[in-house]
Amino acid sequence: MTTTPANSTRAPVLEFDDVSLAFGSRRILDHVSFEIRAGEFTGLIGSNGVGKTTLLKVILGTQRIQSGDIRINGTKRTARLRSVGYVPQKVSIDADVPIRSRDFVALGLDAHRFGLRRRTTEDRRRVDELLEAVDATSFADARLGDLSGGEQQRVLIAHALVSEPSLLLLDEPLANLDPRSVQEIVALLHNIAATRDVAVFLSAHEMNALLPVMDRIVYLTGGRAASGTTDEVVRSDVLSALYGHHVDVLQLHGRVLVVAEPGTTTDHLPSHETLKVD
Ligand SMILES: Nc1ncnc2c1ncn2[C@@H]1O[C@H](COP(=O)(O)OP(=O)(O)O)[C@@H](O)[C@H]1O
Ligand SMILES: [Mg+2]
């Protein structure tokens, strides 16, 4: 189920075409198709365990699919590409690891090269520019392990962007942040998508924090996906068809609630957005 906005004339950065993947008898992706574009912020929304991390690993090439095609910048994905930046879901940074934020960002320059090499003036300029873009200049020389969650997230984003990818994947980057940091990181990523011509693709089990900035959404449940602009997807008829039973979508004080009918299990609806009416 894919709907494409009329104004999307640019070539897609990422295309999923009829992609299927199962773990044993459990279908994680069941004929999933969607596209995302440069300069856009796309949310990958679904409850825990639905397959968001698996889908991102498919893009990275670390998880095989059973059928379908994936194209990045119009080319079938083969090995891990320089054009994809990635901020993984679980990054545990030991406070004892003596690496400065600045040096960690610079490591992103080496990710696609064989071995380390001397930094050039151009490398240093690029690292500085990225640190500034994520507003991390003030802690650029602090140890990564000493930073707060929100500060570490900024450094991880700079690390993923320093090789100038056209697609930036982030796996639940907001999950462990306080509400203020969530707002700041969301605004930062929106700005990055708009000003750097990057396609930002971010997974979350809660969409409300993303509503002000999301250009498009890929909504995943039960192996199936609905995609399009947020207005096209977050609707009662579209989500009811996707879930296979009736759900209402309520707008309340700028938030969205997906409401199941009485007697329907809501276990598979994204948390904090659901209201079970009995
Ligand atoms: N390599 C694997 N083999 C078997 N099952 C897996 C594997 N990876 C993930 N799963 C299962 O697939 C489902 C989707 O996992 P995941 O992609 O991590 O979901 P999400 O990121 O949306 O929480 C989960 O039930 C998980 O336990
Ligand atoms: Mg996950």
Best residue among 32, 54, 203 to mutate for probing ligand 1, ranked by most atoms within 8 Å of CB: 54
Question: Could you tell me if 110 and 117 are in contact, meaning their C-beta atoms sit under 8 angstroms apart?
Answer: yes
Where does residue 4 rank: exposed (0-12), middle (13-18), buried (19+ CB within 10 A)?
Answer: middle
Ligand 1 pocket test: which of 19, 20, 23, 63 has the largest number of ligand atoms within 8 Å of its C-beta?
A: 23
pLDDT, tens digit, 9 for 90 and up, residues 34-53: 999 999 999 999 999 999 99
Residue 275 confidence (pLDDT) above 60: no
pLDDT on residue 11: 79
The better pLDDT of the pair 83, 9 is held by: 83
Give me 96's structure tokens: 């004892």
Alpha-carbon span 141 to 17, nearest angstrom = 44
- Percent of the chain scored above 70 by pLDDT? 86
Confidence of residue 67 (pLDDT cuts 50, 70, 90): very high
pLDDT at 246: 87
The closest alpha carbon to 34, from 26, 44, 24, 49, belongs to: 44
CA proximity to 132, closest of 107, 157, 111, 110: 157
Mean pLDDT of 113-131: 82
The answer, yes or no, to whether residue 220 has pLDDT greater than 60, is yes
Model pTM?
0.89
Q: How far apart are CA 59 and CA 42, in angstroms?
A: 14
What pLDDT was estimated at residue 253? 80
Range from 54-68, 75-89, 240-254 that averages highest in pLDDT? 54-68
Give tens-digit pLDDT for 226-249.
999 999 999 999 988 888 888 888
Centre of ligand 1 from the C-alpha of residue 114, in Å: 31
User: In sequence order, what DSSP letters do the residues of 4-61 get, joined into one string?
Assistant: --TT--SPEEEEEEEEEEEETTEEEEEEEEEEEETT-EEEEE--TTSSHHHHHHHHHT
pLDDT of residue 58: 94
Q: Ligand 1: distance of its center to the CA of 10 in Å?
A: 32
d(CA 259, CA 236): 9
In this predicted structure, what is the pLDDT of residue 268?
Answer: 57
Q: Which residues does a 6 A CB cutoff place in the pocket of ligand 1?
A: 23, 28, 46, 48-54
d(CA 237, CA 43): 20
CATH fold for the domain made of 12-244? Rossmann fold (3.40.50)
